[in-house]
Amino acid sequence: MTMPARRRNLTGRLAAGALALGIVAAVGPALADAPPDPRIEALATACLPHRQDYAALTRHVAEQGWQTAAANAHPELDALLAKSREVFDELDEGITATLAVFGKEVGGRQLYLVANFVSSEPIDLVGCTVYDLDADAAIDPAPLTALFGQPPTNSIDDPKLIVADGWEQPKAFPGTWDAYSAYIPEGSFAAGQTGFTGVYLKITAVSPKKRNVLPGDDG
């Protein structure tokens, strides 16, 4: 995917907005016997099937048993949503954003899922992020590497700040802009920037124009 520099810069900003707001079927033999990580299971089953279509994504998430969650369902959920809305409020004229928040217990862990849609003239982006706000350790990236079919393209390993892995445009999932897994520990400077601690997994995909029809739209 090649884009002019101006559009690449805009897309990077939109992807950052999407980030502020995210069953490994392809695991190898060494991982097949391990219990599935509920966070990865949630990403694979809730986020990936309709990653390029916000309307279909939110319908699918609800069909998977995720319930609409209030911001005050968790103290850090409220804080991270406030940070996300700050980013959205600063988007340039002509760029619109919407989001939906869900919660579900998966594998004994209370998880939250934020789906978001950021639209502009050059590109539309759909984001899906799974949060485990009570996690106290980084997630094993190996199952995600198996899922995406490639090793991480970038990683950060700073246990006092953030432990993160990213997969740029994984070929196993066409249309995907990027995917990330990260753990932010208690006391991290990053927590002040994001509003939360714990684990998040997110995927951002490019949405074909006019595919998304939001509730209330005439299109």
Which H or E run includes 13? Answer: helix 5-20
Max distance between CA atoms of the chain, in angstroms, equals 50
- DSSP calls for 56-102: HHHHHHHHTT-EE--GGGSHHHHHHHHHHHHHHHTSPTT-EEEEEEE
The helix/strand count (H/E) of the chain reads as 7, 8
For residues 184 and 192, give the distance between their C-alpha atoms in angstroms, rounded to a whole number.
Answer: 10
Distances (CA, A) of 110 to 11, 14, 99, 130, 190: 32, 28, 20, 11, 22
pTM of the model: 0.80
- Full pLDDT tens readout for the chain, 219 residues: 333 444 334 444 444 444 334 333 333 333 345 568 999 999 999 999 999 999 999 999 999 999 999 988 998 999 999 888 888 888 888 898 999 999 999 999 999 999 999 998 889 999 999 999 999 999 999 999 999 999 999 999 999 999 999 999 999 999 999 999 999 999 999 998 899 999 999 999 999 876 555 444 444
